[in-house]
Structure 1
Amino acid sequence: MSLGIAVTLHGDLGTTPISTTPAALAAWQLTVGQWTVIFNALLVVFQIILLRRRFPLLGYLQFLVAFVFGTMCDVWLGVTDFLAPEAYWQKWVLIIVGNVLISFGVFVEVLPGILYVPGEGAVAAIVRATDWNFGTVKQCFDWSLVGLAVVLSLILNGEVVGAREGTVFAAFTVGLMVRGFQRLDAERLRKKHFGY
């Protein structure tokens, strides 16, 4: 997922909703990865406050996940620093490739259903506290993060940073691609166990 985020950031057409806020803040003091660690840690704190005694003990591992995830964002941004597209279509290639990588990362993350990155953990906590539909909460949560990123960008940078047409693309396609990976996996398992 962090590699995909790095690739989308190099595309310079906006990144995924969960990364828009760290991208907006990155122009101010810290790196994208460092802001990702801080932002994701705050999402874990939000879950703890929301769920209180119902917050699972395993959920505290999300602090470690936040640290690794944010650190890897910076590592991959450095490794992929050679990606500097100039043409608009080249930027879109990076957006598409980055979103495929993110989608595959989400697919791998949710496959065992054990531990999530804090963004998904926050959505799951809201659903648990309210009994609202997961898909609806996820959409509202993502668009709220984009709105927050736009406001912070305008205040801190005087322009919108991190949220553009690539963000809209990610908001609508990552979930579809994850479902596509899930279907492919189900088909692979069916062929392996049943031979058709």
Structure 2
Amino acid sequence: MMGCSLTKENENLDKSKLTKTAEEFAAQWFEYDFKSTVEQYADQMGDEQADSYKEYAKMQKKHGAMKKVVDKSYSTASDTATVTLTLTTEKAGKLVFTVIYSETGEISDWKVEEYQSIGKTMGRAGLNTIMSMAIVFAVLIFISFIISCFKFIGNAQPKEAAKAEAPAAVPAPAPAVVEEENLADDLELVAVITAAIAAASENECTDGLIVRSIVRRS
């Protein structure tokens, strides 16, 4: 409803007129020399525009001249209108032209893309899905590997702590020092006893009582 009311209110966004303008634009696109333009004005272009022109030059070389329009669509949104054309080319494949018009009916933006069939689009979507799943599984496997390594790290830490807390070896006790006996005192004692016995034998009493005196010299 919005598209219809907008078209009635704004005569600049007439469907037949804008569609015809888009077809003329597509024909001019095939004749335009994008390659020479990039070579001559590369310094004056931005990187994005220069890359787009190079890509368009490759498309022209790949597809050759325009043959005919096989599909067209028209839509409006807010204060703009869009015409989409699908056309065949001389060498191979199809191209899709999207031309966007401002509220004044002038071309405000446009783009050219390779036509993608439903089967090719589905195949590419399926490939992207498989690649995404493979990446997810690879990340999960990597995370599982990292988690499994934590177990070995945790077991190694108590062992290192036990080694650090092990008591130091107790040194063997030093052998007891045996004090040497004072042999000089013993010899002196023997000499005193011997002398006492000798004296006693000389001064023995007549009544049979023997008096022995032992004197130790210090």
TM-score range (shorter-chain normalised) is under 0.3
Larger Rg: 2
Provide TM-score, normalisation by structure 2. 0.23
Q: Which has the higher helix share?
A: 1
**TM-score where L is the length of structure 1:** 0.25
Higher-RCO chain (CA-CA 8 Å, sequence separation at least 6)? 1
Between structures 1 and 2, the one with greater strand share: 2
